[in-house]
Amino acid sequence: MTKKFTEDHEWVALDGDVATVGITSYATEQLGDIVYVELPDTGRTIAAKDEVCVVESVKAASEVYAPVSGEITEANEALADNPSLVNDAAETEGWFFKMKLSDAGELDGLMDDAAYAEFVKGLG
Amino acid sequence: MMNKQGRPSQPQSDNASKSFETFSGHRGLQQEEGIIFDRARSGETGVDLPIPGSRPSRLGGLERTEEIGLAGLSEPEAVRHYVRLSQKNYSIDTGFYPLGSCTMKHNPRLNEKVARLPGFADIHPLQPVQTVQGALEVIDTLAHWLKELTGMPAVAMSPKAGAHGELCGLMAIRAALEAQGDARKVVLVPESAHGTNPATAAQCGYAIKTIPAADDGLIHLDELKAQLNDEVAAVMLTNPNTCGLFERDIVAVADAVHAAGAYLYCDGANFNAIMGKVRPGDLGIDAMHINLHKTFSTPHGGGGPGAGPVVLSAALAPYAPVPYIVNEGDGYHVIETEEQSDVSPLGRMTAFYGQMGMFTRALTYAMSHGADGLRQVAEDAVLNANYVLAKLKDLFSAPFGDRCMHECLFDDAFLKDTGITTLDFAKAMIDEGYHPMTVYFPLVVHGAMLIEPTETESKETLDRFCQVMRSLALEAKDGQSDRFTQAPQYTPRRRLDETQAARNPVLRWLPPKSDDISPLQAAE
Amino acid sequence: MRYLPLNDQDRSDMLGVIGASTIDELFTDVPQDLLLRGDVNLPKAQGELDVERALSKMAAKNTVAGDVPFFIGAGAYRHHIPASVDHLIQRSEFLTAYTPYQPEISQGTLQALFEFQTQVAMLFDMDVANASLYDGSTACAEAVMMAHRVTRRSKAVLSGNLHPQYVDVVKTQSQYNNHDVVTNAAALTGDEDLISAIDEGTSCVVVQYPDVFGHIKDFTALADAAHEKKALLIVAVPEVVALGAIKSPGAMGADIVVGEGQSVGVGLNFGGPYLGLFATRQKYVRQMPGRVCGQTVDAEGKRGFVLTLSTREQHIRREKATSNICTNSGLCSLAFTIHMTLLGEAGLRRLAAINHQKAVQLAENLEHIDGVEILTPALFNEFAVRLSKPAAHIVDRLAEQNILAGVPASRLFTHGDAQDVLILAATETNTDEDITALVSALEEALS
């Protein structure tokens, strides 16, 4: 399984041709307590960098962008009742949506684990 | 006969022991008060009404059959309930309220008295105009004061609050541009702007671009010029700005905006700092709303109502919304529809005439001060803010120098490494009996603290406040963080769990045993 | 000056501390050629006595509703307000507090808002209500915008019997957002076809209840038709006292209910400040405009209240906010909630019954006059009549006799055949003498 990261602090994990997307632990630390996730509609076709959903803390709302292009196949309904999952398990159970990739090659343009760690370090 | 039961008339040493939980939950003058639905009965009422007549109903079969669920209280219970609630509020009448950008000045009671005269309070907006000539005279007279004070030729009186005035002003700009066949798409908004500015521009159908602030807290003139082009409809500027600084390049900004074929909108939230000192019309501003509930002392009422008349330049005047008043010598008339108008109104912002109750208060205030007094208002407001800045600047961190207009801005650099945040500091001020300043706004400095004393505070109040602020700053720097992180302690409620409120919204009371499967949770 | 505590000694001492020699040294960033050297051309300061005298003189030029037989409604209604309401809203701690951004020292305002939201939601039979908007007309425009967001469509269908000034506010608000507003012609009889105007692009249908001519109708079928096309039904209630007597909009299937809360606790005030009521279904709560108060607990676990769901609002979401509203009608919502608490279920029901009876009494008296035809068969406290002469003329003539007879429809509708239509309202404030005076004056004017 490949896991990649964007500069907007999304992670994307590829399993077969299904990619799971969420926001990174670093992002949740910056946002604080997550109180709401506006989940995307399934079936929607999106291009990389499209705004897909919104994640909210008490005092901020942040857009989540599509890391790669494809079709949204599933949203994490567990977040509707329990948004704190994002804080507790940002990069596992706190995933936002799954998508079917239209071009797996797009993943190559994203950061790997080490590169993202370096990127975050640079943010101070 | 002599009373031998001598009772202690001095506090005894054990009277000073620490606090304990009471059986009642009350703490002396601090009374706990449940919500009305906890205890009220639906049959109870605090009004005596006659028995209705018994003529045949004409409700057409739509009679209500379900209970509404409302709670009722007798008058004594209702009065006690709301008086107790009131005692859980901080207010300008009870203490110093240095909330930056909000202008919490004294609310004169004459304003309240005048607004309640039956000739103003008990008249209907759709009465024949010949029966409300005095009301129209109030609106027209206040309009005259606002035009004189701003040096602008026209004013739209109907907007209901500042943000509504912004919308009116931007719509006038858009109407003027479209009348010229010029469909521009973008509004430029400085980074330090109130959130209402971008929200308003979006509501008016514009895309928003942000102008970053310069290092001195002022608008970045070169950045502005770089972003100005034939797509830009308007620039929205607050002056004095939200850092409490006068935009000294304002005339150059206006010239650049006009040269690009755009209009300059001014957020007039801070007009109180320059009233009678300089006229926005002379600065090249095309439209500006005036918050009557800030500059003209109408009470904030726990969140409103306000009023947001918008002064307009000659270029925008023809687009002012209906209704508006004309005086043709034989009395006042009202132009109520676009069809009746001989110019090009942008439409209608609200039913009826706007915030009449605020107009009477604002006019009362303006006439009380007069031209001379209103200038003094601005001067004293600016003097008070500079005084606070001068008294605090060595211990606090002032990012933009040692001069300001009506409010002074600090950042949280002075709290570095103390483990205390701006929010903690604000909450500690509550324990000291002060309403905190505005915090975390504007966004251009880190951990912002924006202090606006207003002109209605005495030197003694400011001296005492500055002493307390200095003591707090010293304690913070001294590493005594508990009283900050645990604050407030002397309030009816301690810090509230905003995360829980937002995660599981409980926005109303529901009966404890509801069959409703709504995800709303019943209040306890 | 009585509102300015500083004296000249203070000012000079303070300038010394600041390190400035004159006040104008604090205004050096103002372009010096534009700095005013004298006063603007307005009158000088005056004492309380003089100001009150001047304003009272203006007030005296108006005909006070309470002094004359008064039958005007059309979006604002004259009701009796218990004396304790005005006393309580003038408590310093309510009147002179800001928006409750610091919840620990604003629990009074916040709890009152929570109770207010509950009352509004109950009255409309909706799940949730916000902490108020400016007034009924702007609440109506906000509801239309919210429907566009919820449905991701952009066409609103407005009833022809929606208050024309509400229609104008919706149109004004929509004109720069590529939003379509489709309006029906006014229907004096109350019968209009809105269902056929709903299509796949329709976001909402907006109706008024009771409508501008006083008609009350069941909108259940309309709600069903709208929902079938995945559009929302918005119901605007201009006179909330009606809901003490008639079926709730929620029970008819409304998705958003807005109202003008003026008639409970607020008073006429020549049109403002008024009170915009806004309620909706739970599933749409995050698309709702305006502030909302929610219940939570404090650090000691005690129940308390805070403003919540703020990420919808302009101060956080900026250009993506659900509305630009900031200041709302706080004190008016307090007056409303106090008056409603004094009424309670029993009081509101009785008040509504009295209002209806007064209107029926007025209608019964008017329908015997030659030249008067009642146009509103099913009504609450307001109805329309067709007169044998132009209504505006009759209203002016009666005003000269100190009778405020109602609103000529021509004042609201600039198009159509409304010249001879008069809209009258009756409330608990009308006496038998008022009705007799109106009837005889009208009889004479029409003869």
pLDDT per position as a tens digit, C301-345: 999 999 999 999 998 889 889 999 999 999 999 999 999 999 999
pLDDT digits (tens, 9 = 90+) for C166-223: 999 999 999 998 899 999 999 999 999 999 999 999 999 999 999 999 999 999 999 9
Break chain B into its structural domains and give their ranges.
Answer: 112-365, 371-496
Indicate yes or no: CB of C316 within 8 angstroms of CB of A60: yes
Q: Can you give the pLDDT at residue B19? A: 75
Indicate yes or no: CB of C310 within 8 angstroms of CB of A38: no
Amino acid at C445: A
In Å, how far is B391's CA from the nearest CA of chain C? Answer: 8
Q: Which residues pair with C342 in a beta bridge?
A: none
State how far the Cα of C38 lies from the Cα of C446, in Å rounded to an integer. Answer: 60
* Burial class of residue A100, CB neighbours in 10 A (0-12, 13-18, 19+): middle
Indicate yes or no: CB of C317 within 8 angstroms of CB of A61: yes
CB contacts of C317 in chain A (<8 Å) are 61
Touching subunits of A (3+ CB pairs, under 8 Å) are: B, C
- Using CA coordinates, name the residue in chain B closest to C275: B305
Confidence of residue B518 (pLDDT cuts 50, 70, 90): very low
Q: Which CATH architecture has domain B112-365?
A: 3-Layer(aba) Sandwich (3.40)
CB contacts of C52 in chain B (<8 Å) are 110, 113-114, 364
State how far the Cα of B498 lies from the Cα of C308, in Å rounded to an integer. Answer: 7
Q: Can you give the pLDDT at residue B513? A: 67
Indicate yes or no: CB of B35 within 8 angstroms of CB of C111: yes
* Closest CB to C18 among B87, B321, B390: B390
pLDDT digits (tens, 9 = 90+) for C26-56: 999 999 999 999 999 999 999 999 999 999 9
Residues 6+ away with beta carbon under 8 Å from B114? B120, B360, B361, B364, C51, C52, C55, C56, C59
Please report, rounded to a whole number, the percentage of residues in chain C having pLDDT higher than 70.
100
Indicate yes or no: CB of C316 within 8 angstroms of CB of A36: no
pLDDT at B523 over 50: no
Q: What global pTM score does this model have?
A: 0.96
Confidence of residue B519 (pLDDT cuts 50, 70, 90): very low
**DSSP code, position B61:** T
- The label of the residue with tokens 């602008």 reads B152
Indicate yes or no: CB of B458 within 8 angstroms of CB of C351: no
Confidence of residue B517 (pLDDT cuts 50, 70, 90): very low
Beta-sheet strands, E only, within C238-319: 256-260, 276-280, 293-297, 303-307
State how far the Cα of C337 lies from the Cα of C341, in Å rounded to an integer. Answer: 6
Dihedral sign computed on CA atoms, order C314, C319, C321, C326: positive
What are C12's two structure tokens?
């000079």
Amino acid at A18: V
Indicate yes or no: CB of A36 within 8 angstroms of CB of B503: yes
- Three-state SS annotation for B277-334: CCCHHHHCCCEEECCCCCCCCCCCCCCCCCCCCEEECCCCHHHCCECEEEECCCCEEE
CA angle (B232 as vertex; B312, C323 as ends), nearest 5? 70
**DSSP code, position A1:** -
Indicate yes or no: CB of B348 within 8 angstroms of CB of C165: yes
- Using CA coordinates, name the residue in chain B closest to C432: B53
In the CATH hierarchy, which top-level class contains the domain B371-496? alpha beta
- Which of A58, A62, A64 best probes binding to C when mutated, by most C CB atoms within 10 angstroms? A58
Indicate yes or no: CB of A56 within 8 angstroms of CB of C311: yes
CB contacts of A58 in chain B (<8 Å) are 498-499, 502
- Three-state SS annotation for B195-225: CHHHHHHHHCCCEEEEECECCCCCECHHHHH
Residues 6+ away with beta carbon under 8 Å from C1? B369, B373, B376, C45
Mean pLDDT, rounded, for B444-466: 97
- Which of B68, B102, B112 best probes binding to C when mutated, by most C CB atoms within 10 angstroms? B68
Phi, psi of A53 (to 5 degrees): -155, 180
Q: Which of B489, B486, B493, B484 is nearest to B428 (CA)?
A: B484
State how far the Cα of C15 lies from the Cα of C7, in Å rounded to an integer. Answer: 12
State how far the Cα of B489 lies from the Cα of C298, in Å rounded to an integer. Answer: 11
State how far the Cα of B233 lies from the Cα of B184, in Å rounded to an integer. Answer: 5
Q: Which residues pair with A37 in a beta bridge?
A: A55
Q: Does any CB of chain A come closer than 8 Å to the CB of residue B503?
A: yes
Indicate yes or no: CB of C360 within 8 angstroms of CB of B58: yes
In Å, how far is B338's CA from the nearest CA of chain C? Answer: 10
Task: Check if the beta carbon of residue B91 is closer than 8 Å to that of residue C100.
Answer: no
Indicate yes or no: CB of C311 within 8 angstroms of CB of A38: no
Q: Interface pTM (ipTM) of the complex? A: 0.98
Confidence of residue A59 (pLDDT cuts 50, 70, 90): confident
What are C44's two structure tokens?
């000088």
Q: Which residues pair with B265 in a beta bridge?
A: B236, B287
Q: Going from the N-terminus, what domains does chain A have, and what CATH number goes with each?
A: 2-102 (2.40.50.100)
Q: Going from the N-terminus, what domains does chain C have, and what CATH number goes with each?
A: 65-81+344-446 (3.90.1150.10), 83-339 (3.40.640.10)
B58 three-class SS: coil
Phi, psi of B280 (to 5 degrees): -50, -35
- Using CA coordinates, name the residue in chain B closest to C12: B383
CA-to-CA dists, residue C271 to B141, B266, B355, C1, C410, angstroms = 18, 27, 7, 32, 19
Confidence of residue B522 (pLDDT cuts 50, 70, 90): very low
pLDDT digits (tens, 9 = 90+) for B109-165: 999 999 999 999 999 999 999 999 999 999 999 999 999 999 999 999 999 999 999
Q: Mark out chain A residues that contact chain B at CB-CB < 8 A.
A: 33, 35-36, 56, 58-59, 83-84
Dihedral sign computed on CA atoms, order B456, B457, B459, B462: negative
Q: Which of C391, C443, C399 is nearest to C421 (CA)?
A: C391
C380 three-class SS: coil
Size of interface A-C (CB pairs under 8 A): 16
Indicate yes or no: CB of A84 within 8 angstroms of CB of B498: no
Touching subunits of B (3+ CB pairs, under 8 Å) are: A, C
Q: Can you give the pLDDT at residue C418? A: 84
Q: Which of A55, A50, A47, A56 is nearest to A106 (CA)?
A: A47
State how far the Cα of A110 lies from the Cα of A67, in Å rounded to an integer. Answer: 8
CA-to-CA dists, residue A79 to A83, A90, C15, angstroms = 5, 11, 58
Mean pLDDT, rounded, for C395-417: 93
pLDDT digits (tens, 9 = 90+) for C236-252: 999 999 999 999 999 99
Task: Please list the alpha-helical segments (H only) found in B210-355.
Answer: 221-227, 250-259
CA-to-CA dists, residue B479 to A52, B394, B427, B490, C185, angstroms = 45, 18, 17, 21, 72
Q: Does any CB of chain C come closer than 8 Å to the CB of residue A38?
A: yes
Indicate yes or no: CB of A36 within 8 angstroms of CB of B499: no
Task: Check if the beta carbon of residue C333 is closer than 8 Å to that of residue C275.
Answer: yes
pLDDT at B13 over 90: no
Task: Check if the beta carbon of residue C445 is closer than 8 Å to that of residue C404.
Answer: no
What crossing angle do the helices spanning B356-392 and B459-477 adopt, rounded to 10°?
A: 50
pLDDT digits (tens, 9 = 90+) for B334-355: 999 999 999 999 999 999 999 9
- Using CA coordinates, name the residue in chain A closest to C309: A58
- Using CA coordinates, name the residue in chain A closest to B502: A35
Q: Can you give the pLDDT at residue C240? A: 98
C236 three-class SS: strand
What are C133's two structure tokens?
């908007």
* Closest CB to C327 among B84, B161, B370: B161
A64 three-class SS: strand
pLDDT digits (tens, 9 = 90+) for B244-280: 999 999 999 999 999 999 999 999 999 999 999 999 9
